[in-house]
């Protein structure tokens, strides 16, 4: 008998089980709501890394829509190093900003997704086993620590789990695209999933096979095509508008914490993670159940559950960045298979255990308990109870705002820390929420903290060992009593953090003496990192003791070599520039300098040739080989990119309001095909700000720019 999307008791004897199941479902969701309410009242920790990013994206949407900037909302600038996220989850999160505590209010958005997940698992299980164990299937999966963890974090992953479950419920209910309403519901749910996150397709691979199989029948073909067109019509416009940025940034993001799929143990990484976070009993017996299920009805559809699980596991094992939350939408069949395979007594016993585990997740009374076996570790009672912890984030930001130089448009703060609740994204979001517009958190680079008025150090533990590359070295440089840092910065505040570490705030020293007594300085050859300068002459103007900076420094440079780009005949004026010389121990000559402040960079003259630019692009853009480059009103290049022919033309314009350099893409041809110019229209990287910003917290003055005769020149 065909069945539709909604639970349909085929026999009167099942009605009692259905009523029992639905009442149990409502009770489960009510208990979850009470637990979430208690969690929100007790927990005072700020959101962590990715959670803060999602909350800030939601704030970007809220502000853009509130101010009527619809174009900005549609082409929302992605966060540094992150791909652009589809908008649907973050649009829902904007509602959290109606609360004075948006981080905890956002968790109530998760509760509604949890309700969708619970109802969908119930519907899926009822299709295969129409009895009270459909409720047990919900408890086995939705009450697990893995789902409770997603419920209490501001991430898009719980919505992904819920939408995947709902989409498969609709897919199975449409009976291979022979029923209109479930098929259209699948199209809408598929689009909703894709508008939550780009990876939603990875859980739908078996669904695409079912769609292709529908071509054997005219009616199913028509219904499937309507469903596909509906899904594409809803989701494709956003992807078309972001196609230029999305693929490269997705590849970049997928390599975080990268471990090759061919590394020994890589294929078992998710096995252990899922066992710990779902529970070893449910995980192991549920996985066995997928291989040998005993479905009471619709057995012919059972392969879809196994394929859903298997393809998701393989896909996300191949992806180098392995976190269980990415795989969770593919593990939903575990609960359904468990109930359809094992005796009811075992099923209900495991469900009762999961309920205890759920309560313990919030209470933290027991565990985690580990049992080490020769080839496998069993972990029970994983938990993450709420905690009253003040990580001083707001207090630190307000102190920085009070101590900063009020004349500076931006006060950069170098953060020497990357811990769960003490990291740049958390500070970024908190600053935005508090409306503190001046302080900007920056990460550590090879030159530590140039142009940063403040440095914030978490001491002695800067963060987990897996995410602190370069930070221990930076911390050691800060704490070196004989180093340049102590001469340039002074400690102005200190806080004790909940993990017994200290947060130490340093500010640039005021009233510094002039670093050089002479009027001019000449270097025939000077190297600073990846910058090589030849024939450098610096002319020092008056010293401003209040700002600890030279009012002007003129630079005449015979030749710059910046990361392979050779620039000849450059002339600059630096206004309001302060620096700290670095010297060898016991020597007077400078080995390098650290720039402390700069108000304006005035580029008086500069000259770049076509050959130099050609060599630079071939060197710096991976996969690009430039064969021809011309500079005549526009920049034209031709060559190959990853073995495919490429040609492009772009112009440069100086714009005001605010002052910026705009790269206008005139044409792009890749592999013999013209790339639509609309692809590049809203890429923010094609506009270079000349006004103070976190990357360059000083103004850049260009008197003009000319592209002619094979050279790019200023003025």
In this predicted structure, which of 19-28, 194-203, 516-525 has the lowest mean pLDDT? Answer: 516-525
Mean pLDDT of 191-207: 96
Nearest residue to 451 (alpha-carbon basis) of 637, 262, 653, 692: 692
Q: What is the pLDDT of residues 564-598, one digit of tens each?
A: 788 888 999 999 999 998 877 656 677 788 999 99
Measured between alpha carbons, how far apart are the two ends of the chain, in Å?
Answer: 79
> Average model confidence (pLDDT) for the chain?
90
- Of the pLDDT bands very low, low, confident and very high (cuts 50, 70, 90), residue 615 is confident
pLDDT at 254: 57
Cα(605)–Cα(318) distance, integer angstroms: 51
Q: What is the pLDDT of residues 299-308, one digit of tens each?
A: 899 999 999 9
- Of the pLDDT bands very low, low, confident and very high (cuts 50, 70, 90), residue 241 is confident
pLDDT at 418: 94
DSSP H helices, 242-329, are 246-254, 269-278, 280-291, 302-318, 324-327
Structure tokens, 462: 């800067």
Mean pLDDT of 143-150: 97
- φ/ψ of residue 625, rounded to 5: -125, 110
pLDDT at 683: 64
Is residue 377's pLDDT more than 70? yes
Mean pLDDT of 353-369: 95
Cα(210)–Cα(304) distance, integer angstroms: 9
pLDDT at 112: 98
Cα(192)–Cα(87) distance, integer angstroms: 10
Q: What is the pLDDT of residues 654-698, one digit of tens each?
A: 988 888 888 888 888 888 888 877 777 656 567 889 999 888 899
Is residue 3's pLDDT more than 70? no
pLDDT at 1: 40
Give 362's contacts (C-beta < 8 A, 6+ positions apart): 35, 38, 39, 148, 383, 385, 386
Cα(382)–Cα(273) distance, integer angstroms: 11
Q: What is the pLDDT of residues 104-124, one digit of tens each?
A: 999 999 999 999 999 999 999
Sign of the CA dihedral 317, 318, 321, 327? negative
pLDDT at 525: 81
Mean pLDDT of 157-175: 97
pTM of structure: 0.89
Is residue 137's pLDDT more than 90? yes
Is residue 372's pLDDT more than 90? no
pLDDT at 2: 44
pLDDT at 684: 59
pLDDT at 212: 95
pLDDT at 672: 81
Q: What is the pLDDT of residues 448-482, one digit of tens each?
A: 899 999 999 999 999 987 777 789 999 999 999 88
- Of the pLDDT bands very low, low, confident and very high (cuts 50, 70, 90), residue 510 is very high
Q: What is the pLDDT of residues 274-288, one digit of tens each?
A: 999 999 999 999 999
Mean pLDDT of 179-204: 97
- Of the pLDDT bands very low, low, confident and very high (cuts 50, 70, 90), residue 252 is low
DSSP 245-270: THHHHHHHHHTTT---TTSTTGGGHH
Is residue 393's pLDDT more than 90? yes
Mean pLDDT of 163-179: 97
Cα(426)–Cα(49) distance, integer angstroms: 6
- Of the pLDDT bands very low, low, confident and very high (cuts 50, 70, 90), residue 250 is confident
In this predicted structure, which of 3-17, 191-205, 238-252 has the lowest mean pLDDT? Answer: 3-17
pLDDT at 81: 73
- φ/ψ of residue 357, rounded to 5: -65, -40
Is residue 337's pLDDT more than 80? yes
pLDDT above 90 coverage of the chain, percent: 66
In this predicted structure, which of 44-48, 66-70, 508-512, 641-645 has the lowest mean pLDDT? Answer: 641-645
CA gyration radius, the chain? 30
Mean pLDDT of 23-29: 97
- Of the pLDDT bands very low, low, confident and very high (cuts 50, 70, 90), residue 616 is confident
């Amino acid at each position: 008998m065909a069945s539709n999307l909604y639970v349909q008791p085929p026999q009167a004897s099942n009605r009692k089980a259905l009523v029992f199941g639905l009442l149990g479902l409502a009770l489960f969701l009510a208990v979850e709501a009470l637990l979430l309410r208690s969690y929100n009242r007790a927990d005072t920790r700020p959101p962590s890394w990715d959670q803060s990013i999602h909350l800030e994206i939601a704030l970007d949407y809220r502000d853009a829509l509130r101010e009527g900037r619809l174009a900005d909302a549609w082409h929302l600038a992605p966060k540094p190093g992150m791909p652009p996220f589809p908008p649907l989850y973050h649009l829902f999160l904007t509602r959290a900003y109606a609360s004075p505590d948006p981080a905890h209010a956002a968790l109530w958005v998760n509760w509604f997704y949890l309700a969708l997940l619970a109802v969908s698992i119930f519907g899926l299980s009822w299709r295969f086993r129409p009895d009270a164990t459909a409720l047990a299937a919900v408890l086995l999966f939705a009450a697990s620590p893995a789902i409770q963890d997603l419920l209490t974090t501001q991430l898009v992953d719980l919505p992904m789990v819920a939408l995947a479950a709902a989409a498969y419920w609709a897919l199975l209910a449409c009976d291979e695209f022979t029923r209109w309403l479930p098929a259209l519901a699948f199209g809408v749910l598929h689009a909703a999933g894709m508008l939550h996150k780009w990876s939603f397709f990875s859980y739908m691979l078996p669904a695409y096979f079912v769609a292709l199989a529908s071509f054997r029948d005219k009616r199913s073909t028509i219904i499937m095509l309507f469903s596909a067109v509906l899904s594409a019509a809803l989701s494709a416009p956003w992807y078309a508008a972001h196609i230029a940025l999305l693929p490269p940034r997705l590849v970049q993001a997928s390599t975080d914490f990268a471990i090759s799929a061919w590394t020994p143990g890589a294929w078992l990484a998710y096995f252990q993670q899922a066992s710990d976070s779902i529970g070893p009993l449910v995980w192991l017996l549920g996985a066995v159940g997928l291989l040998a299920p005993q479905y009471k009805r619709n057995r012919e559809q059972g392969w879809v559950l196994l394929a859903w699980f298997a393809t998701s596991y393989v896909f996300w094992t191949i992806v180098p960045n392995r976190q269980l939350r990415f795989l969770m939408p593919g593990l939903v069949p575990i609960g359904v298979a468990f109930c359809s395979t094992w005796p009811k007594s075992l099923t209900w016993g495991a469900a009762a255990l999961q309920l205890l585990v759920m309560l313990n997740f919030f209470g933290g009374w027991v565990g985690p308990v580990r049992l080490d076996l020769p080839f496998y570790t069993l972990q029970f009672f994983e938990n993450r109870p709420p905690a009253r912890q003040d990580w001083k984030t707001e207090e630190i930001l307000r102190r920085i705002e009070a101590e900063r130089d009020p004349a500076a448009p931006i006060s950069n703060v170098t953060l020497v820390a990357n811990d769960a609740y003490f990291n740049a994204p958390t500070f970024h979001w908190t600053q935005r929420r508090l409306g503190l517009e001046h302080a900007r958190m920056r990460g550590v680079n090879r030159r530590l903290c140039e142009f940063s008025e403040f440095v914030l150090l978490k001491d002695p533990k800067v963060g987990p060992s897996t995410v602190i590359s370069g930070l221990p070295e930076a911390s050691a440089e800060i704490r070196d009593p004989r180093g340049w840092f102590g001469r340039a910065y002074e400690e102005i505040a200190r806080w004790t953090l909940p993990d017994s570490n200290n947060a130490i705030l340093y500010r640039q020293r005021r009233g510094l003496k002039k670093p050089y007594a002479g009027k001019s300085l000449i270097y025939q050859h000077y190297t600073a990192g990846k910058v090589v300068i030849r024939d450098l002459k610096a002319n020092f103007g008056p010293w401003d003791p209040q700002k600890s900076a030279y009012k002007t420094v003129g630079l005449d440079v015979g030749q710059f070599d910046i990361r392979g780009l050779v620039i000849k005949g450059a002339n600059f004026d630096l206004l309001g520039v302060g620096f700290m010389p670095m010297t060898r121990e016991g020597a007077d000559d400078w080995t390098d300098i650290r720039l402390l402040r700069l108000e304006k960079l005035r580029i008086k003259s500069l000259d770049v040739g076509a050959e130099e630019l050609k060599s630079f692009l071939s060197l710096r853009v991976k996969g690009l080989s430039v064969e021809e480059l011309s500079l005549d009103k526009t920049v034209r290049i031709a060559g190959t990119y990853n073995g495919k022919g490429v040609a492009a033309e772009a112009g440069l314009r100086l714009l005001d309001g605010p002052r910026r350099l705009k790269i206008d893409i005139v044409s792009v041809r890749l592999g013999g095909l013209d790339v639509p110019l609309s692809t590049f229209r809203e890429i923010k990287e094609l506009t270079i700000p000349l006004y103070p910003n976190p990357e360059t917290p000083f103004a850049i003055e260009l008197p003009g720019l000319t592209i002619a005769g094979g050279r790019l020149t200023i003025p």
